[in-house]
Structure 1
Amino acid sequence: MSVKVINVLQCASDAEETFEQELKKLVDISLHEEGCLAYEIYQPKDKRGEYVMIEEWQNEDALSNHKGSSHYRHFIRVSPVLQNSPAEVKELVRLV
């Protein structure tokens, strides 16, 4: 069964450009990883600075490998200083 991850991130108002660049780098590289089915970023129309990332991985192993990748570890290192608060992360397993 595939695993979907939904992240809601709120960046600091003075860091939006840098944060978006880091998000785009993460997505561009992640999309080429083995087991990555989807990796998308959305922004609510009415909430500037808020980002919703939706990832889908073939299985738990693929997600685990992603979390061990250098580009993911880089994002985890730099993103806290660009955010107002920690990301809200939900890992979901498809039931149907």
Structure 2
Amino acid sequence: MKVINVWQCTPDAEETFEQELKKLVDISVTEDGCICYEIYQPKNQPNEYVMIEEWQNEAALDHHQNSSHYKHFIRISPVLQDKPAQIKQLVRLV
């Protein structure tokens, strides 16, 4: 199961937002069932971040979403965001 998140933080919060994202990734990649957890940034858009996650199954994703580090990020991120995140859970067709 893949999840793509697109986050846009306020221009004055880039450094803090990036630090919090990196903390989330550092812990998440050690979780059972985590295949991939990466952050990208579009060229010329310093306040936008694209996170690509891949999990072995839905149970692993559920466990991640109930973890304290994930809940911490979800709790603090709204004050750093310019607009709500776009989150899409993907199911592979081919």
* Shorter-chain TM band: over 0.9
Partner Cα separation in structure 1 for residue 69 and residue 77 of structure 2: 12
Higher relative strand content? 2
Partner of 1:34: 32
**Unaligned residue ranges in structure 2 (runs of 5+):** none
TM-score, normalised via structure 2 length? 0.98
Residues 41-70 of structure 1, C-alpha deviations (whole Å, 9 max, x = no match) = 000012110000000000000000000000
**Residue identity (%):** 73
Residues 59-86 of structure 1, C-alpha deviations (whole Å, 9 max, x = no match) = 0000000000000000000000000011
Partner of 2:10: 12
Partner Cα separation in structure 2 for residue 73 and residue 44 of structure 1: 26
Number of positions where the alignment pairs a residue of Structure 1 with one of Structure 2: 94
Q: CA RMSD in A?
A: 0.6
**Unaligned residue ranges in structure 1 (runs of 5+):** none
Partner of 1:54: 52
Partner Cα separation in structure 1 for residue 92 and residue 38 of structure 2: 18
Runs of 4+ aligned residues of structure 1 deviating over 3 Å after TM superposition are: none
